[in-house]
Amino acid sequence: MVFKTIGGSVFIQNVPAFLKELAAISSSCNTTVQAMDSDKIAGENHIGFAVEKALRAMENELNIARDTGVEIMRYASGKRQIEEAFSMGVREGEMNVVFVVLGEAEKVDIAIKDLANLIEEKPVVAYSEIKNKALFTQFSITEQEIAAAGKDRIPQLVLERIALVDILK
């Protein structure tokens, strides 16, 4: 099983209809597709770590969510509660989105091509300081932490929050 990401900007008129489109792509390609707000993603390592933690939880039957995509988003959000994890989800209006696609390699590639039709593809996953405000809010990163760790360590602070999801109850 492999995962790949594709990101870009999108205008979402209706969230349930958009999610239905994603579910249709996921179903037709026999993959897991999870959409997230890429403005709250601190880079590829953030996604990779969340996917790894979610798959391990599913494998060991320690998952909170029944759906693999929701479990990925739960870890990516740094939140234990599913309801709180939806803060990483999509919303109506113009936004930057990243799709995480999980499955067999050739099926993932087909799903990625289908998803590319829904967005204006551009590099939105990489960490940049423009994301700091959203990251600070999403992951409750304090000025004291930034002063102690340094601004260049913000992606690592996000990974720390993901690592703590299983510990903090």
Give a three-class secondary structure readout of 74-91. HHHHCCCCHHHHHHHCCC
Question: Are residues 53 and 164 in contact, defined by beta-carbon separation less than 8 angstroms?
Answer: no
- For the stretch 28-38, pLDDT in tens is 999 999 999 99
What is the fold of 2-164?
PF0523-like (3.30.2380)
Question: Are residues 11 and 93 in contact, defined by beta-carbon separation less than 8 angstroms?
Answer: yes
Residue whose tokens read 């008129």: 13
Question: What are the sequence ranges of the domains in the chain?
Answer: 2-164
Using alpha carbons, list the distances in angstroms from residue 96 to 43, 91, 161.
13, 10, 22
Q: Who's near 71: CB < 8 A, 6+ residues apart?
A: 54, 57, 58, 63, 64, 65
Q: Which one, of 26, 32, 33, lies nearest residue 90 by Cα? A: 33
Question: Are residues 134 and 40 in contact, defined by beta-carbon separation less than 8 angstroms?
Answer: yes
- For the stretch 90-145, pLDDT in tens is 999 999 999 999 999 999 999 999 999 999 999 899 999 999 999 999 999 998 99
Residue whose tokens read 């933690």: 53
Using alpha carbons, list the distances in angstroms from residue 119 to 104, 112, 138.
23, 11, 24
- For the stretch 38-84, pLDDT in tens is 999 999 999 999 999 999 999 999 999 999 999 999 999 999 889 99
Model-level pTM greater than 0.95?
no
Q: Tell me the C-alpha distance between 59 and 88, whole Å.
A: 23
